[in-house]
Structure 1
């Protein structure tokens, strides 16, 4: 079975103090869904504000969680390090977005269903190969600097929209948790925070207009 998850890189959450966070996963990646704990949501929010606000340790706002959230919410379009993880549960094959790919661009995967090419980051450099009605996703090797580095994930073009709808559902569940989390740690900004993430990460809008 093919499973696609929305993945957030958590390296920016190390040594974060303004609110409780979970211990970063061993692989540095947090899969977002409605099943996260409050501390895991705190980790995701620490990554988000850290990546977009870049608080300096000497900044008076660095220890003020609500002020950090406000500064991020009031900023321009925000980004999030990560992307989509595609797994074949039968073979164990995994394709993950590479460096400099952002979770906020996850809907661009729909372009594959229309026959377009898709940039999925580098180091590793995953890439997608269209084979008629099928898609073959390679975990590395797009830049020909090194071999693929692992088995590909095979799926069909027809099933991709349904898989991406599942991603949207998981992100929707995560967004609900963010609202609850904000009511505790940034209560005056709870609604604005949810609206900002929803807009910048393109969560609630239908996949196809």
Structure 2
């Protein structure tokens, strides 16, 4: 997380929904329908909550498309979407807070954290970008200033304005936070793999699996946030019925 002199903060955040009775790995108690800021400073249980939410966003029945059927075991069933969707979705985005004015710019409905690269369009592309709806957050470049409109559908919407230099500094810091989160999330996923995998039968040394083989769960999570996205979301998630 990086602050400017005006006390403006930009953070990658994940929207948290309740998932009652979850027991596949340790998770923290986070306010439902709130936002969890992502960084390398999260406690292990908070990382577990973030991974649970990302996996849950993609927990769609494979009968709705042509993916293979779910595995029978609970962990494999829950992780099925993470491992089989080509394009993944994680409800959230970038939160920008101006503590001096009390204004907060939040991602809207259907915005995904995997679309974080869209922020670069504001200063290096089309000059504007939108981030969901209800509300309709909108960012635009006006000469040497970046204006963040909390709800573009409202004529009197609160706005946050900052220089392009400040904006780039904040975006670099948010990307740094996201990179650090990926590192600890990948470590947590590998630990979950080891803790939940059944013991393998004895094998000769010549056929022993490589201990450095990457965990598929951590690979799927890392790929989601690092790849350049085309804005697509998994089937049945383009609507906002879950909001």
Q: Say yes or no: TM over 0.5.
A: yes
Which residue number in structure 2 is paired with residue 207 of structure 1?
Answer: none
Given that residues 7 and 84 in structure 1 are in contact (C-alpha distance below 8 angstroms), is that contact kept between their aligned partners in structure 2? yes
Which residue number in structure 2 is paired with residue 165 of structure 1?
Answer: 172
Q: Which stretches in structure 1 are left out of the alignment for 5+ residues? A: 204-209
The structure whose Rg is larger is: 2
Give the Cα–Cα distance (whole angstroms) in 2 for the partners of residues 127 and 155 of structure 1.
Answer: 14
Give the Cα–Cα distance (whole angstroms) in 1 for the partners of residues 214 and 36 of structure 2.
Answer: 22
Deviations 1:124-154 (A, max 9, x none): 11122433100121211x134x742xx3211
The Cα shift of 1:27 comes to 5.3
More helix, by proportion: 1
Q: Map of 1:22-171 to 2, 5 A cutoff? A: 22-25=28-31, 28-54=34-60, 64-69=74-79, 71-114=81-124, 115-140=126-151, 142-144=152-154, 147-148=156-157, 151-171=158-178
Given that residues 20 and 39 in structure 1 are in contact (C-alpha distance below 8 angstroms), is that contact kept between their aligned partners in structure 2? yes
- Structure 2 residue 207 is matched with structure 1 residue 197: no
Given that residues 13 and 38 in structure 2 are in contact (C-alpha distance below 8 angstroms), is that contact kept between their aligned partners in structure 1? yes
The Cα shift of 1:63 comes to 6.8
TM (norm. structure 1) is 0.81
TM (norm. structure 2) is 0.71
Give the Cα–Cα distance (whole angstroms) in 1 for the partners of residues 70 and 115 of structure 2.
Answer: 32
Aligned length: 198
92-101 or 25-34: bigger deviation? 25-34
Q: Quick one: structure 1 residues 82 and 181, their matched pair in 2 at CA, closer, same or farther if it must change by over 3 Å? A: same
State the Cα RMSD in Å: 2.8
Structure 1 consecutive aligned stretches of length 4 or more whose deviation exceeds 6 Å: none
Give the Cα–Cα distance (whole angstroms) in 2 for the partners of residues 71 and 102 of structure 1.
Answer: 16
Which residue number in structure 1 is paired with residue 16 of structure 2?
Answer: 10
The Cα shift of 1:42 comes to 1.2
Q: Which stretches in structure 2 are left out of the alignment for 5+ residues? A: 1-6, 63-68, 198-212, 228-243
Which residue number in structure 1 is paired with residue 181 of structure 2?
Answer: 174
19-28 or 102-111: bigger deviation? 19-28
